[in-house]
Amino acid sequence: MNKTIYFIANWKMNGNCNSIKEIERVVSFYKKKANTNFNKIIFCPPLNLLNYFKKKIKNKLIDFGAQDISKINLDYGPYTGQLSGKMLKDSGANYVIIGHSEKRLFDEDFITIKQKINSAIKSKLKVIFCIGENLLQKKKKLSLKVLKKQISQSLEKKNINKVIIAYEPIWSIGTGILPTNDYLSMIYTKLNIFLKDKYKIKTPIMIYGGSVTSDNVVNLGNISLISGFLIGGASLKSKSFIKIIKNYFI
């Protein structure tokens, strides 16, 4: 059975107005693809570019997301620097990344992440919920325990159908070190069982993030429980991003 494969571009703190050309090239490539029914491309640029990109890219094949959301469950208020779910929706976002390791490092704990997920879903945003273990936790064989705790402490059962779980091993992000297929198969199989058992969901959506390239995506594509990718640096240029999409379907 065909399933949706997600290619999510996390631009982090990169890009400017001229970067829209990179998205336009992806749109041009995607229009030529014979089968786009089961693929989803989502760009998550910095917020200052989101509304501009959304207005300029008039193509339903491409969607947009934000990289963060306020934990404050209000549409508006006296909160300097905060951006509510409603504001993100008004700016063109239909998705939002929450729990990314780079955010956890600075100011996100379980309570904050849970508040952000609830705020996003209240505003009808779909959540890209990042989980991941660091190298020390992996060496101590605590990976699954850490991942399950991150999910159970942050995600309510009622919200599971509006969430994409993005497994991003912290020790792999930006390092070029990719987990083996055996390791990933074990992680995704165990998480699949855990999510089905605890959250009573028939088919959890789980993607992978962590040094995804056009070379290793071929190998990653052999893991059936992976339903797409959260892509960082390789998504900034259309050439490398398109090559990842092409190579996945080889």
Asked whether residue 170 carries a pLDDT value surpassing 60, the answer given is yes
Distance CA 68, CA 113 (A): 10
- Residue 2 — pLDDT band, cuts 50, 70, 90? confident
CB neighbours (10 Å) of residue 1? 4
- Catalytic residue check, 133: no
Alpha helix (H) residue ranges in the chain: 20-32, 47-56, 85-90, 101-106, 110-122, 135-139, 143-154, 181-199, 216-220, 238-248
Cα separation, 49 vs 86, in Å, equals 17
34: Cβ–Cβ under 8 A, 6 or more apart, which residues? none
Q: Over the stretch 84-134, which tens digit does the pLDDT of each residue have?
A: 999 999 999 999 999 998 888 887 899 999 999 999 999 999 999 999 999
pLDDT tens profile 37-62: 678 999 999 999 999 999 999 888 89
pLDDT of residue 108: 87
| pLDDT mean over 220-238 | 96
* DSSP conformation class of 64: E
The total domain count for the chain is 1
Q: DSSP assignment, residue 201?
A: -
Query: Which residue matches tokens 């379980």?
Result: 110
Instruction: Examine the residue annotation and report whether 168 is marked as an active-site residue of this protein.
Output: yes
Please pick, among 100, 102, 108, 133, the residue that the annotation labels catalytic.
100
Among the options 22, 102, 108, 168, which is catalytic?
168
- How many Å apart are CA 120 and CA 89, to the nearest integer? 10
Residue for token pair 């990109």? 53
- CATH (domain of 216): 3.20.20.70
Domain extent for 129: 5-248
